[in-house]
Homo-oligomer: A and B are copies of this chain.
Amino acid sequence: MSRTLKVGVIGLGFFGARHARVHAVHPSAELVAVCDQDPAAVEQLSSLTGAQGFGDFRDLLAMPGLDAVSICLPDRLHEDAAIAAAEAGKAILLEKPLAHSAEAARRIVAAVERSDARLMVGHILRFDPRYVQAFHAAAPERLGTPIHLRARRHAVRSTARRLGDRSSILFYMGVHDVDAMQWIARSRVARVYAQKREVLGNGNEDALYAVVNFENGAIGCIDYSWAWPDGLMNGFRSSFEIVGTRAATYVDCADQGFYVVDDSATSGGDTHLWPEINGRIAGDLADEIGHFVEATLQGRPYLQHHREALDAIPVLDALAESAKSGRTVDVLR
């Protein structure tokens, strides 16, 4: 493999555009191709970065010399593109969620494992200094045995409205926290009970609450909402906490440390996930993509094995089924 990783980005929405911009300035990456069904999006990123534009990801995958792809499509389109990229033997950075169902996720993983391809799922919290430090603080020798843990992710309703029936609170937001809970608790969710609510008419659920049980005996609480009025400071909120027999650790992302006050309101801004600093995207997303580029070039394992990423998906399926049936559901592995 060459000293520079030749990368293509498939899907140029919110995340795809950011992936493209990060690859374009990474010292070890060369953004050679971008792809979207919307010609305007292609044209914009293409002229910004000099990458060749495509309307069909199969054409992009056929580009000679291409080493890797970032796939940033809507959830339901992950399967086709990821399997095609796997069959083409590319290194794949797949934006979360791995897929829109446990079955689709397993098919993607199977395709990767029977090919020369490599797969990293974009679980950005694995690159967030707050969550990573919580992971270290929750090491058994520091935390003891986990007793209870809670994860929360809240956003404003305009997010839910924008996504409509193309995504769901579980797959768009919830996968972050299910992955984080299993990662930081060093244990997997075994059983779930969930209730959801759908009043705002956005084509998806407004909120979902769940109580879960982990294989190691810990109990968990999941708290998802994208029903907040749009005036919520900073537009989103996430938090995480785990209490063990010896110590506890928690993350609270409400405060971003930066505020603007005008005549009508106090507002803030993202200072961790993908802040734009001095003309480039910094923060967790840049670190995640940098890791993908460098680990791929150097043939090192990715920070998270794709099998561990896969572990989150059946929990989402179980949560969805419980919220629908009103009964506790065992997670099928």
Q: Mark A281-319, 1 if CB is under 8 A from B, else 0.
A: 011000100010010000000010000000000000000
A211 contacts which of B194, B219, B246, B291 (Cβ < 8 Å)?
Answer: B194
A232 contacts which of B233, B261, B272, B327 (Cβ < 8 Å)?
Answer: B261
A residues near B, CB below 8 A?
26-28, 126-127, 129-130, 132-134, 137, 145, 147-148, 150, 193-197, 199-200, 206-207, 209-211, 213, 217-221, 223, 225, 227-233, 243, 245-253, 255-267, 269-272, 275, 277-278, 282-283, 287, 291, 294, 303, 326-328
**What residues of B have a CB within 8 angstroms of the CB of A127 in the complex?**
277-278, 282
Q: Which of A130, A150, A193, A261 has the most CB of B within 10 A?
A: A261
A221 contacts which of B221, B243, B246, B249 (Cβ < 8 Å)?
Answer: B221
Instruction: Determine the main DSSP class of A at the interface with B.
Output: mixed
**What residues of B have a CB within 8 angstroms of the CB of A227 in the complex?**
147-148, 243, 248
In whole angstroms, what is the CA distance A278 to B290 when docked?
13
**What residues of B have a CB within 8 angstroms of the CB of A258 in the complex?**
129-130, 133-134, 137, 249-251
Are A148 and B260 within 8 A (Cβ)? Answer: no
A266 contacts which of B211, B220, B231, B269 (Cβ < 8 Å)?
Answer: B231
- A328 to nearest B CB, angstroms? 7
**What residues of B have a CB within 8 angstroms of the CB of A278 in the complex?**
126-127, 132, 291, 303
* 3 closest Cβ pairs, A-B complex: A265-B265, A129-B275, A129-B271
In whole angstroms, what is the CA distance A196 to B219 when docked?
7
A-B contact pairs, 19 of them (CB 8 A): A27-B28, A147-B199, A147-B200, A150-B223, A199-B245, A209-B220, A210-B211, A227-B248, A229-B243, A230-B263, A246-B262, A249-B258, A251-B258, A252-B257, A255-B257, A257-B272, A265-B267, A277-B287, A327-B328
In whole angstroms, what is the CA distance A180 to B32 when docked?
38
In whole angstroms, what is the CA distance A94 to B133 when docked?
29
Are B263 and A229 within 8 A (Cβ)? Answer: yes
In whole angstroms, what is the CA distance A195 to B193 when docked?
10
**What residues of B have a CB within 8 angstroms of the CB of A196 in the complex?**
219
Are B266 and A133 within 8 A (Cβ)? Answer: no
Please name the residue on chain B nearest to A256 by beta carbon. Answer: B130
A261 contacts which of B228, B252, B291, B326 (Cβ < 8 Å)?
Answer: B228
Are B195 and A257 within 8 A (Cβ)? Answer: no
